[in-house]
Structure 1
Amino acid sequence: MWFSKKSEDIIVELSTNPVEGLSSSEVERRKAQYGLNKLEGKKGKTLIQLFFAQLNDILIYVLIAAALISGFLGEISDAIIIGIVILINAIVGIVQESKAEKALDALKQLSTPKTIVKRDGQLVEIPSEEVVPGDIIVIDAGRYIPCDIRLFETANLKVEESALTGESVPVDKDAEMVLDAPDTALGDQKNMAFSSTLATYGRGVGIAVATGMNTEIGKIAKMLNEDEDSKTPLQIKLAELGKTLSIGAIIICAVMFLVGFLQKRNLLDMFMSSISLAVAAIPEGLPAIVTIVLAMGVQRMIKQNAIIRKLPAVETLGSVNIICSDKTGTLTQNKMTVTKFYCNKELKTIDDLNIENSSEKLLIENLVLCNDATFSETSRTGDPTEIALVEAGIKFNLFKDELEASHKRVNEIPFDSDRKLMSTVNTYDNKFIVMTKGALDNMLTICTKIYENGQVIPLTQEMKNTILDESYKMSDDALRVLGAAFKETPNTNVEISTLENDLIFIGMIGMIDPPRLEVKDSISLCKNSGIKTIMITGDHKNTAFAIAKELEIAEDISQVMSGQELDKLNDEELSEKVKHLRVFARVSPEHKVKIVKAFKSHGNIVSMTGDGVNDAPSLKAADIGVAMGITGTDVAKGASDMILTDDNFSTIVSAIKEGRNIFNNIKKSVIFLLSCNLGEIIALFFAILLGWATPLKPIHILWVNLITDTLPALSLGVDPGDPDIMKNKPRSPKDSIFKNSVGSLIFNGLLIGLLTLAAFIVGIKIHTGSTSLFPLYPSNLTEDALIYARTMAFIVLSVSQLIHSLNMRSEDKSIFSLGLFTNKFLIGSIVLGILIQDLIITIPFLANIFNVINLTGTDWLVVTVLSLIPLIANEIIKIFKRMSNSKKEIA
């Protein structure tokens, strides 16, 4: 019952120091004692469970049945090889699934909320999992509470506790309260803050009293059995495709079996061929391949400073055609510097500020005291704007810690994105002074007087107009303008609502946050890719346009709309105007939702950036919500699909590029697998339909299918990105994965199937010396002739598929221009596949199992020529494609 104890007693009980926090050595000791601050999740599957999960498939059941029947009928080699295929498929599936799980676990670790704690006398930001009992926790608006905390200092702190109590209205917290009733409900424990709840307003400091499973949320184990469905739309579509293929395979197999029965073929052979064809028709490894390609792609994105929180975002990224981006820190360097100030009717550079002048000194004191940033030689924490103000004070030996020591803060109203103001109440000798800073236009509406050269005089409308004119000059120079005001208040018990009225205007400062050097190139790249960049900022309209023009986002002031103008439009009017807009200035987070909806109303796929608590609705409304990893609140991160660890616009563009490449690589794998499987169906189906001897035994098909379902497909999944991918327009999310590829799929499937049949025919001709087609019928063939011909068909089927994987790297670029060795994994897969095939026919033990024989040099020449035809044919087709594309570009 921590709520019933005084904070002083808890400090003693937990052996902590509210000023210094815990020492590093003590933290390590407590970690060992209490463990990590996290809830226990679901236990992972054991190796045995994973293995049986891989076998839980209708086609695997059919294969097992086929193996048992083969063994029962004395076909031991067939039974063994089917068993090996099942086993290898299961092992590959386990490896792929475990890799995908590890990749997803790594993502969860990277997106763990951060917490500010006091340790070794310093404020440090750590992953919330590392919090231990006794830690001194600093809470500000927008952060999740990392553990159960007994508060000992609060300033207008409100916490939303719906995750625990179900009550959505934020609760006011009061550190001074001590509750005696032992049965006080959680919702009434106002001196406590609980794990997984959310600070929505104000700030506070407290002691961690319970972590992990010992917290209130841990006791009810609310999150223990959450099982998130991480399947992407693509995976769902491919699962549906698998069902369609299954039905088609069953129909084909039934027709094959019926034809074979009418032709009075061996029913066991027909049964085995039908089953192997069913398995060949469906790429069982496809879901696992898609998952691992997505997971590996996401890992690559992490290295480029983009954390993907939800796998569907990877697909959506490739379709983004609108990027709505905050200016500060994303398009700019987030290194604000005060360059100018206006005071005593004069606009000067900051270097000309006279600290001996009472008005100018009060201006700087106001900006340093009305400020939540912390600044030391070793660390700087807080909003970049506030850090810049503290740095401006240091220029004139006005150090924040010294000022706060002599002018103690006794009350405050935190910054609010609607008010665009912040106020503190500080002691000045025996007086209390309200210090307010914020947006100039909002401030002038609440100021009635002005402080000039030590005198307080009425603030006339003419003076306001002059001040605004001077602010426009600063804005035209791309400076962000902040106003400062003050007033004296009789005591600290004044109503909060009255602190920000009847203020005395002191002056204003202008600061600049220069554009990031690389952003201009990224915006140009977006423009060439059919992606529009929209800048959103709280800055003045002129300031916003100055930056937008420099970055080539906007060309004319007519492309800029302010928040006030936006408020005057209904949804339909904004939807019409938004087509021509590129910049939104002086907007609040609430406006962002309207902006997103307006762009989406035209069928656009919209990405939106955000970092604040109030940005969460717009991040959810966007197709891709992008949170800032450095300045972003936990709420924004929780609502996002992607987190930027460097808060850089260029990272969004890199993520879009990577998203496009990931989708392309998955498409390559899918089309490759299906074209290969189609080739196997055609080879068997045509031969049986024509009454010929079957060109392949069931174990041949199963083995070839195993090879093409794993290494080559996976290697295509990690193919190096197409350097020209950003020259293409964004992909429509409605487009099928087979768009522009159906013809290639059918052509290559037919080609591989016919080449396999051609190898079978050539093998028969070489062995029998006959020129007639009739020896292809079973009754006219000896067992030796069949083994010889099937060996050639087996090799051509497998090698032609492996060679065909090279064609899949690009739809129109030659493999020779791409570079044969730019995907070393694919080359390794091809070489390994050919080597395995060679070992199968040359090692007597394996040759007996597969019922094949060693080939002569002449045979290998024939097989090589036939296997290379898919590569040659596709290279010729690509030449015509490139000629066609060149003509279109010229036209």
Structure 2
Amino acid sequence: METLGSTTVICSDKTGTLTENQMTVQEILAGPDRFVLTGGGYAPSGEILTPGGTVLQNLPVALAECLRCGLLCNDSLLVEKEGRWIVEGDPTEGALLAAAAKGGLSGQEESKRRPRLDTIPFESQHQYMATLHSDLGKPPVVYVKGSVESILARCSGALSSEGALEELDPGKIHEAVEEMAAKGLRVLAFSRMELPEGKQRISHEDVAEGMTFLGLQGMIDPPRVEAVEAVKNCHSAGIRVKMITGDHAVTASAIARQIGLAHGEKALTGRELAEMTDSELLETVEEVSVYARVAPEQKLRLVEALQTRGQIVAMTGDGVNDAPALKRADIGVAMGITGTEVAKEAADMVLTDDNFASIEAAVEEGRGTFDNLTKFIVWTLPTNIGEGLVILAAVFLGIVLPILAVQILWINMTTAVLLGLMLVFEPKEPGIMDRPPRVPTEPILTRMLARRILLVSGLMLLGAFGLFKWELTAGAGTAEARTVAVNVIVMVELFYLFNCRSLTKSVFEVGFFSNPWVFVGSAVMVGLQLLFTYAPVMNIAFQSKPIGIESWLRILAAAITVMLIVGIEKKITSRGMDRRKTSGSAGISTAML
């Protein structure tokens, strides 16, 4: 949790984490023509429109084959539950099924007519999936879908609208891809090839060349609304967010701009990443916000480069190949819905909803937890130091001890539970995500906090020892004087507790009543101190004695004085920090000029 709160870079997947993972095919290129699809989500209802905007009545051969390829080269199902269509399997494949249904193709009929014989499953290093099908009275046919680059590299021709084989024009296809990707569409390419009679199995060598290009399908995966706000909060908190995706670079950049990640800079592709030396990557890794067409094994290299630059890295992943990067990252975040068991075991935390906003919330929670831990330490140390100083002062001065061992035990047992523990319930301070991440090498107790601890310890010594001597000088017995000293320590702790509810701000700035448990603990603590002072059984057990109202007034005066002094110290320190920030900003502005 401490590491999560000090995260400086979050490397996130795009699909399903920064986006909704609700794919819908919106555009298709088949032959020379482009088509637009209506309807949204996974519902198989909608129409295919011609370039002129009219509803398409009869599917051209190339379009029908492009849709058929997406339908048959597919391992997912569309299911209607409670009036809502959902996908059982991969969302991208669900979008292809819905698009085929809008074209009038039935998955059941097509599978019956062209039963599957063999499959090459999708692998990130190959970036395609292939299925072999028998075709009644015809040679077996293999359908392939995948990234544009991987499909074009295997094609030697293209299918025309009428079904004739024509020359492949890669430049025109890439132009169409760029236009689709610029709209934020995720683009897949499709191809087919007939194989010799009797072919029952396929390998990568079978689909390495000689295929026929069928077309492109561009689908939208809109950004999560909450991810936009989460990215904005991360930037305010000094956390850099980097998108790492297997999608086309233009698509990734378009989505990144929509969620506020990129502002015109070019995405770095996996191919460019592979060509970079380690020194070149170190120079650019912090500046680039979008990485496209990245292989899982390249994530590990990115993590190591960022860590070499001194960054605390949180990395998301879901696949088996993501495990090394998840393990190497300072915080590995596995996807709870789409993640494999290997990824979950390698990660430090599992994202149950696969939502980037949950990562941002976890970082915020980590900061709050670390803050409360620091507050407890800053609160409890003066007690131990103050008690020790009181004993040492009495020993060096050669006088009777102001507090006994059993009384110290009483103080430590009761205050730690009833006062210190209440800081655990302290809500996160306003603006906790508006400050930069904590420097990992910075100690928990900074110089400012160490100075405050010594200040309170000294004030506790003066209050407890001073009023102990006051009571003895006024004629009180040793037991009464010790009771006063114990109550001084406890009341100083109680009032100092309100100082510790924020390390830099006044308790009124964070909300005086925002933590009701502080008041509950304080009330019980006061009740126990009254029993400690006046209950006969407690007087016997802890060698205490009742004290008068004048003694209580002096005790409260000492406690309130400590609270006010610490409040003034915080105000002075806060102003000093603000001046340093202002001068630092001015220096930066001057340098920029």
TM-score, normalisation: structure 2: 0.91
Partner of 1:423: 130
Distance in 2 of aligned mates of 1:845 and 1:620: 58
Aligned partner letter, 1:851: Q
Superposition deviation, residue 370 in structure 1: 0.7
Distance in 1 of aligned mates of 2:191 and 2:21: 25
Partner of 1:470: 176
CA contact (8 A) 1:480 1:512 kept: yes
Q: 1:496 aligns with which of 185, 198, 203?
A: 203
Partner of 1:317: 4
Partner of 1:761: 469
Aligned partner letter, 2:9: I
Distance in 2 of aligned mates of 1:576 and 1:890: 29
Distance in 2 of aligned mates of 1:797 and 1:330: 51
Superposition deviation, residue 456 in structure 1: 3.6
SS of the residue corresponding to residue 518 of structure 1 reads helix
Distance in 2 of aligned mates of 1:459 and 1:563: 29
CA contact (8 A) 1:411 1:492 kept: no
Superposition deviation, residue 662 in structure 1: 0.8
1:371-520 alignment runs, 5 A limit: 371-378=74-81, 379-431=86-138, 432-460=140-168, 463-489=169-195, 490-501=197-208, 502-520=210-228
In the superposition, relative to structure 1, how do residues 835 and 478 fare at CA in structure 2: closer, same or farther (>3 Å)? same
Distance in 2 of aligned mates of 1:687 and 1:403: 94
Partner of 2:20: 333
Distance in 2 of aligned mates of 1:662 and 1:404: 55
Are residues 1:365 and 2:72 paired? no
CA contact (8 A) 2:117 2:201 kept: no
Superposition deviation, residue 415 in structure 1: 0.5
Distance in 2 of aligned mates of 1:346 and 1:397: 19
1:135-150 alignment runs, 5 A limit: none
Aligned partner letter, 2:20: Q
Partner of 1:789: 481
Partner of 2:346: 639
CA contact (8 A) 1:548 1:554 kept: yes
1:344-363 alignment runs, 5 A limit: 344-350=31-37, 351-352=48-49, 354=56, 355-363=58-66
SS of the residue corresponding to residue 709 of structure 1 reads helix
Aligned partner letter, 2:262: A
CA contact (8 A) 2:71 2:100 kept: yes
Are residues 1:812 and 2:509 paired? no
CA contact (8 A) 2:119 2:202 kept: no
Distance in 1 of aligned mates of 2:34 and 2:59: 17
1:685-696 alignment runs, 5 A limit: 685-696=392-403
SS of the residue corresponding to residue 333 of structure 2 reads strand
CA contact (8 A) 2:11 2:313 kept: yes
In the superposition, relative to structure 1, how do residues 733 and 587 fare at CA in structure 2: closer, same or farther (>3 Å)? same
Q: Where does the alignment leave 5 or more consecutive residues of structure 2 unmatched?
A: 38-47, 51-55, 584-593
Superposition deviation, residue 483 in structure 1: 0.6
CA contact (8 A) 2:332 2:348 kept: yes
Q: 1:877 aligns with which of 562, 565, 569?
A: 569
CA contact (8 A) 1:627 1:640 kept: yes
Aligned partner letter, 1:475: A
In the superposition, relative to structure 1, how do residues 883 and 469 fare at CA in structure 2: closer, same or farther (>3 Å)? same
CA contact (8 A) 1:803 1:830 kept: no
Distance in 2 of aligned mates of 1:376 and 1:526: 37
Are residues 1:720 and 2:427 paired? yes
CA contact (8 A) 1:704 1:798 kept: yes
Aligned partner letter, 1:352: L
Aligned residues: 559
CA contact (8 A) 1:526 1:533 kept: yes
Distance in 1 of aligned mates of 2:238 and 2:554: 48
In the superposition, relative to structure 1, how do residues 884 and 735 fare at CA in structure 2: closer, same or farther (>3 Å)? closer
CA contact (8 A) 1:317 1:660 kept: yes
Aligned partner letter, 2:170: K
Partner of 1:750: 458
Q: Deviations over 1:29-70 (max 9, x none)?
A: xxxxxxxxxxxxxxxxxxxxxxxxxxxxxxxxxxxxxxxxxx
Q: 1:732 aligns with which of 426, 430, 439?
A: 439
Superposition deviation, residue 821 in structure 1: 2.3
TM-score, normalisation: structure 1: 0.61
Partner of 1:565: 272
Are residues 1:708 and 2:400 paired? no
CA contact (8 A) 1:347 1:470 kept: no
Q: 1:826 aligns with which of 518, 522, 544?
A: 518
CA contact (8 A) 2:418 2:524 kept: no
SS of the residue corresponding to residue 422 of structure 1 reads strand
SS of the residue corresponding to residue 143 of structure 2 reads strand
Aligned partner letter, 1:481: V
Q: 2:302 aligns with which of 592, 595, 598?
A: 595
Superposition deviation, residue 494 in structure 1: 4.1
Distance in 2 of aligned mates of 1:525 and 1:873: 35
In the superposition, relative to structure 1, how do residues 390 and 577 fare at CA in structure 2: closer, same or farther (>3 Å)? same
Distance in 2 of aligned mates of 1:786 and 1:455: 107
CA contact (8 A) 2:230 2:360 kept: yes
SS of the residue corresponding to residue 840 of structure 1 reads helix
SS of the residue corresponding to residue 546 of structure 1 reads helix
1:766-777 alignment runs, 5 A limit: 766-767=474-475
In the superposition, relative to structure 1, how do residues 878 and 484 fare at CA in structure 2: closer, same or farther (>3 Å)? same
Q: Greater CA deviation, 498-507 or 639-648?
A: 498-507
Superposition deviation, residue 495 in structure 1: 4.3
Distance in 2 of aligned mates of 1:563 and 1:879: 51
CA contact (8 A) 2:59 2:103 kept: no
Partner of 1:342: 29
Distance in 1 of aligned mates of 2:540 and 2:489: 19
Q: Deviations over 1:728-748 (max 9, x none)?
A: 211122221112311111111
Distance in 2 of aligned mates of 1:641 and 1:713: 29
Partner of 1:666: 373
Superposition deviation, residue 349 in structure 1: 1.0
Q: Where does the alignment leave 5 or more consecutive residues of structure 1 unmatched?
A: 1-313, 769-784
Partner of 1:865: 557
Aligned-pair identity in percent equals: 35
Q: Deviations over 1:670-719 (max 9, x none)?
A: 22221111110011111121112111122111110111232322211231
In the superposition, relative to structure 1, how do residues 819 and 579 fare at CA in structure 2: closer, same or farther (>3 Å)? closer
Distance in 2 of aligned mates of 1:733 and 1:400: 55
Superposition deviation, residue 464 in structure 1: 1.5
Q: Greater CA deviation, 536-545 or 332-341?
A: 536-545
Are residues 1:627 and 2:334 paired? yes
Q: Greater CA deviation, 505-514 or 489-498?
A: 489-498
Partner of 2:543: 851
Superposition deviation, residue 889 in structure 1: 4.6
Superposition deviation, residue 346 in structure 1: 1.4
Partner of 1:614: 321
Aligned partner letter, 2:146: G
Superposition deviation, residue 629 in structure 1: 1.1
Distance in 2 of aligned mates of 1:430 and 1:588: 41
Aligned partner letter, 1:505: F
CA contact (8 A) 1:682 1:754 kept: no
CA contact (8 A) 1:390 1:399 kept: no
CA contact (8 A) 1:486 1:506 kept: yes
SS of the residue corresponding to residue 464 of structure 2 reads helix
CA contact (8 A) 1:608 1:619 kept: yes
In the superposition, relative to structure 1, how do residues 848 and 342 fare at CA in structure 2: closer, same or farther (>3 Å)? same
Distance in 1 of aligned mates of 2:193 and 2:162: 13
